[in-house]
Amino acid sequence: MSVLTWTLSVRAKRPEPPSRLRLLTIPKIYVLPLEPFCPKFDQHQLMVAFIKTIILLLIALFLAMVALLVPAQIRSIDQSVIELAGSNGTSVEDKLWEEVNAAYVGPAQRVAAATQTEEPLLQARIAELLQKNPEFSLTGGPDRSFEDYLKASVNSRRAEAVIPQLLPRSERAALSTTLAASNNRNIVALLNIRDLSGLLRLHPASHAAGAPYDSGVLTLALLIEGGHFQPALAQQIGNLATLAANRNPDAVIACEDFVIGTLSLGRQLDYRSLASLAEMTHTLSDWSQMASLFRAQPKRVAENFTALLFAQDPDGLYTYLAEHSETGDRDIDLALRNGPDAVSHLIQSNQPIYRPSALPATVLSYLAPYRPESFAAITLQQNSLGQLLKFALLFLAGLAFAFAMGSAWRSSIGNITPVSRTNPMVMARDVLISLVVVLTVWTFFEPDILKSQETAPDNTPRIEFAVADSLSAIKSPVKAMQELNQVTLLVLALFFIIQLVIYSFCLIKLREVSKQQLSAEMKIKLLENEENLFDFGLYVGLGGTVLSLILVAVGIVEASLMAAYASTLFGILFTAMLKVMHLRPFRRKLILEAGSTAAPSTLMKNIEL
């Protein structure tokens, strides 16, 4: 039998389709039963998946709210931690009564003014002390050496501050005569530099304008006579005065600076308050820093004095106010109202108090009544431990959110075989989504972490040459790589994690397509349908760059431009890696399978011809 005869016989035996099938046109295809293509719609399974997703979202929300109850911040300190630190130590009232019971009227009045304490019993006790001891209004409290000077004084017109009382020549002469009888070697050394030559900003005592310098020297001698300076510091002052008397240029400058600092403090404080500062001074630098603080803020004498009295750390307070010039005063005032330990903890942390913006403040105000005290106690004891607890809770909230999204995804794909939850890429996707949730929530509630902590530029006058600018321009690429701040690294990490999440989603999608029981041609069409998903990383990268440039231009984020351009770079790299290393080999495999399947049918057609 010839091939042609065999073909004709096969065609003759082929049954004709029924007429009802011939009438089936394309518009009627959508009414066909879909059981051969997808499982019957199961309302029960859909409801279970919906409830599961809602439960996981509620768990994620609950964990996020618990995390927000942890008062641990990265670049600030929570007000609840400051309040707890103050409540664990001496209260403001106890500190005030310590000063009043010691009859330190001047310091007590300043502490009461700084902490806004208006206790009637306390004010009555201060008034009683002033009534019994009128000289306390001049001295600020009991001090035998200064009281002896007042008794020998003939000037009846006095001010509360120390320096104005010593400016008259008669007062200085009487005090110098009294101090000359002292056996203290350090006092003798100070009296020997009253007529010191070589001063640059002040004049010696013998000069017509030498009253300020002489008053400062006598005030220092009076503090040493009263034992208010520590013996080691008094010895250092005496040695410095001895060197200055021997015409040592460096010692002369140091003595002049020390006297100027004494003038800055003594013209605003009474003697007892000045003595309290002297008792907490450990080095000459502490005295100079306190003087600089009082000169810079003449309207905050009571607040600065109280902060120094509470913290007993002149260098720490000076550093804190210098580094936090915008919020430092408000933060110190808030800590003052919570007691000495609150001030000490704030200064030691060297961080501003956390003040959220409008929306985060509203959310936190609703959550604050439910905050366990243990959360604040953990953060107070060790801030890094509080940060770790907050990170762990946010990470668990992110995992619950990732599981909820996975549950919703699985319920929406019908009869398609999903990728196992234990698949490494699925696990990596959930972890990366959790990290994105942590960064997003933390940044939303503490946007200060997106602001750089670069030191303020030096505004002192200086000469700059064009050659220096050229050299810096040549070295700028290396310098830019060396000066990556924390904000830039954080933005880079965020963009990188987002691209990893998209990359994981695409790999999971490829895995789902490969596991479906479909022909190679159908899988190729599914891959063509997911082409936009495979390019999604590139779109996100470009969008991240544009958004970053806008935020940097507006000033919301203080990161380098490198972080903005890195978003596009990450998008290009991850998209290229996905398509070259995963999509292209998989598509090539499907094309080969489709070709091998189509080969027999092609051969049959050739035979029929």
Q: What is the pLDDT of residues 363-392, one digit of tens each?
A: 999 999 999 999 999 999 999 999 999 999
Residue extents of the structural domains in the chain: 46-74+376-454+465-608, 157-269
Contact by Cβ (8 Å): 132, 297 = no
Strand extents, DSSP E, 295-445: none
CB 240 within 8 A of CB 193: no
Model confidence, pTM: 0.72
Instruction: Look at residue 25 and tell me whether its pLDDT is greater than 80.
Output: no
Name the residue type at position 298: P
**Contacts for 438 with CB less than 8 Å, ≥ 6 apart:** 391, 394, 395, 398
Q: How confident is the model at residue 71 (pLDDT cuts 50, 70, 90)?
A: very high
Close Cβ partners of 199 (under 8 Å, ≥ 6 residues apart):
213, 252, 256
User: By mean pLDDT, which of 139-153, 234-248, 322-336 is the weakest?
Assistant: 139-153
For residues 338 and 340, give the distance between their C-alpha atoms in angstroms, rounded to a whole number. Answer: 7
Are 72 and 78 contacting, i.e. CB atoms less than 8 angstroms apart? yes
* pLDDT band (50, 70, 90) for residue 211: very high
Owner of token pair 């972080």: 563
**Residues 339, 310 contacting (CB under 8 angstroms):** yes
- DSSP state letters, 344-385: HHHHHHT-PBP---HHHHHHHHHHGGG--HHHHHHHHH-HHH
Q: Return the pLDDT at 403.
A: 87
Surface-to-core class of residue 577, CB atoms within 10 Å of its CB (0-12 exposed, 13-18 middle, 19+ buried): middle
End-to-end CA distance of the chain: 16
Number of other residues whose CB lies within 10 A of the CB of residue 232:
10
User: Is residue 77 scored above 90 in pLDDT?
Assistant: yes
Between CA 290 and CA 296 the distance in angstroms is: 10
Q: Is the pLDDT of residue 607 over 60?
A: no
**Rounded distance between C-alpha atoms, residue 508 and residue 514, angstroms:** 10
Residues in the chain: 609
pLDDT tens by residue, 198-208: 899 999 998 88
Q: Which of 311, 376, 322 is nearest to 348 (CA)?
A: 311
**Model confidence pLDDT, tens digit, residues 276-307:** 999 999 999 999 999 999 999 999 999 999 99
Alpha helices (H) along 516-579: 520-529, 531-534, 536-554, 561-578
Q: Which residue has the higher pLDDT, 527 or 220?
A: 220
User: Residue 64 pLDDT more than 90?
Assistant: yes
Residue 25's SS3 state is coil
Q: How many CB atoms lie within 10 A of CB 300?
A: 18
d(CA 212, CA 420): 84
